[in-house]
Amino acid sequence: MPALPHGTESGRRARCLAGKMPALPHGTESGRRARCLAGKMPALPLRTESGRLARCLAGKMPALPHGTESGRRARCLAGKMPALPHGMESGRRARCLAGKMPALPHGTESGRLARCLAGKMPALPFGTESGRRARCPAGKMPALPHGTESGSLARCLAGKMPALPHGTESGRLARCLAGKMPALPHGTEGGRLARCLAGKMPAFPHGTEGGRRARCPASKMPALPFRTENGRLARCLAGKMPALPHGTESGSLARCLAGKMPALRAVVYPKLSSGYNMLRDSRTIRRRSFLKTAAAATAAATVSGRLRAAPAPARAPLTKARLDEILAEPVLKTDFVQRPVMVGSVELLRHGRVYLLRSRSQDGVEAITVPNPARMAETYPIFLKNILPVFVKKDARQLESLLWDVYRHGSNYKLQGIALWAGVAAIEMALLELLGQTAQRPLADFFGGARQRDIAVYYASGNRGNRPEAEVEYLQRLIAESGARAVKFRLGGRMSRNADSLPGRTEALIPMARKALGDEITLYADANSSYDALEGIRIGRLMEAHGYGLYEEPCPFDWIWETKEVADALTIPVAGGEQEFSLRRWQWAIEHRGLDIVQPDLHYGGGYIRATQVARMAAAAGMSVVPHMSGGGLGYLDVVHFASFTPNIGPFMEFKGNTDLPIECPTSTLKCERGVVRCPTGPGFGVRVDPGYVNRAQPVPIA
């Protein structure tokens, strides 16, 4: 990282020691000390204690009578004050070690130890612990049964007590390291660590931190994606993960010292409407660096579609308490709606496979919305009996607080899941449309206002099980018809326990699609919960090798821990959450960085308000939002509206084809043209379903 100005203390120090920042006047203590040791600041009168010590050790201040303890010690060690009878303990010890006071009977413990180590008092039966320990490694007291822990350890390491069954932890450790107890299944952490380091337990999957760390430097677990800090550091130093941009302080330091990050750039999630782009080339995105820098910035300028570095000021670590605060913040803005909007009635209508909601206020304003057809067909009794009654006769401006009321109503929380929240999303969208039509304001105004209108999309293929060649041809047709610059296809077998839809399809399709579509097309792939963690990592690395920009749902959607394993092991952004309805699990995934990109579904997750809460938590963590589109009805239009007002929205929104519903919109064609869908700007959702179509729809009775 020769060009990266690391903002961390150890980063600066590492670069200074490596001669990478010789002219930088570091304002930190260790920075000054490092530059002094490197001979970079020989004339600077450092006023700090460690600065004086460093200059003395470097021979820069040989005549200065340092008044500090470390100064005296340094000068003594450097042979600058051989005749000075230092009155300090460390001074005496230093002179003894340097051979300056061989005959002085030091009365201090460290003095005796120093003389013993220097061979000056070999026959003295020291009564102190350190004295015994010093004589034992030197072979001075081989027969003495030391009663102290360190004494016993010293004799064992020296091979003096090979048969003694030491009852202490360090004793066991010493015997193990000396190869004296190779078959003993030590139950202690240090014992396991020692046996691992000695190569005695190469196949044992140690569940402890020290065990993992020991096995990694010994090349015993080179493919394991360690999720602990020192595990990652060990693998990096061992050259096992040279491309991983560790987001931790020690990880960054290790990679810098090893010269592993020469071209790393800070990457953040930008706003597309200002000409920004992101994930343009996933090979320039390094996950953990992204997570740190994106948390501190919201935009980065682009040059020819590639990101430039943006400054990343320091931020406090994201905590659960902070996420709790975000969840408690109000979302919906209704201050411009001066009068109550009392909900008079809501009817569920059906036209073939399409469901409609017709809502009317007590003032006579009417709103027509389109819920998710598949979920409504399955759960309409819950909607009519358990959800709808909570909102009728209420002020639509209180929509946000009513979300908690409907959760508690009639023990609805026992139905927690998509069966409940898809219905809640349906009524939420109906009341948002009613508010918009009443106030004659677009949907975005209720969420802080629109930020962009032209929304770039990726075209999602729904195929699985066709031959790789056929899928590539299909993707080429989608690009030609829509002008999309990004596409997504499906991997694996869908909830298949690692089985592919066709043998070898995934491994063939990943490189084939890249070769056929070229580097100018952004490629995403969705595994639909196909893999366990190990297989998910294997497939993800194949995607990394071919420059893919997003890896969606590698593990079963509720395996949030395994998904984190995959995300931690890969550099490609891992996305997920389309079927997540719990704000608490969202909170965990964001706090613990179990994902890189969050994908709330506007219907499955309960609507715009809850999805905005997820997006806000993600923004605090420097993560972007690429909402999932569950298909049917006007799902793609719902996503386009969400993208228009969400600050940390991703670069491309999911698109599965133009709607065939009879709707009209004076402000947008509602079609994907040149890879972009324009967001409507009329009142509410900005579209009008054909009145004749609505009139032909039939009311759905309560079962």
Query: How far from 547 is each of 284, 535, 550, CA to CA, in Å?
Result: 9, 19, 9
DSSP 387: I
Query: How far from 227 is each of 98, 209, 213, 246, 261, CA to CA, in Å?
Result: 46, 10, 11, 11, 20
- Enumerate residues 6+ apart whose C-beta is below 8 A from 185: none
Tokens 């990282």 — which residue? 1
Of 630, 559, 631, 629, the closest CA to residue 595 belongs to 559
Q: Measured between alpha carbons, how far is 292 from 266 in angstroms, rounded to an integer?
A: 9
- What phi and psi values does residue 649 have, to the nearest 5 degrees? -75, 150
| Token pair of 219 as six digits | 């090349």
Query: How far from 329 is each of 6, 203, 322, CA to CA, in Å?
Result: 34, 50, 11
pLDDT for 338: 94
In the chain, how long is the greatest CA-to-CA distance? Answer: 111
pLDDT for 355: 97
Q: Measured between alpha carbons, how far is 239 from 258 in angstroms, rounded to an integer?
A: 8
User: Taking the chain (703 residues) in consecutive chunks of 10 residues, what is each chunk's mean pLDDT?
Assistant: 42 50 45 48 44 50 46 51 45 50 47 50 45 47 45 50 46 51 44 47 40 40 39 45 38 40 30 31 39 39 29 66 98 97 98 97 98 96 98 98 97 96 98 98 98 98 97 98 98 98 98 98 98 98 98 97 98 98 98 98 98 98 96 90 98 94 96 97 97 97 82
pLDDT for 632: 80
Of 523, 568, 579, 562, the closest CA to residue 546 belongs to 523
Q: What angle do CA 498, 587, 410 make, to 5 degrees?
A: 95
Burial profile 1-23: b = 16 or more Cβ within 10 angstroms, e = fewer: beebebebebbbbbbbeeebbee
DSSP 179: T
Of 26, 28, 567, the closest CA to residue 41 belongs to 26
Q: Measured between alpha carbons, how far is 136 from 154 in angstroms, rounded to an integer?
A: 6
Q: Measured between alpha carbons, how far is 247 from 85 in angstroms, rounded to an integer?
A: 50
- Enumerate residues 6+ apart whose C-beta is below 8 A from 299: 268, 270, 271, 274, 276, 310
Query: How far from 131 is each of 127, 136, 170, 587, CA to CA, in Å?
Result: 7, 9, 19, 56
pLDDT for 447: 98
Residue 584 amino acid letter: R
Of 470, 537, 460, the closest CA to residue 498 belongs to 537
pTM reported for the whole predicted model: 0.62
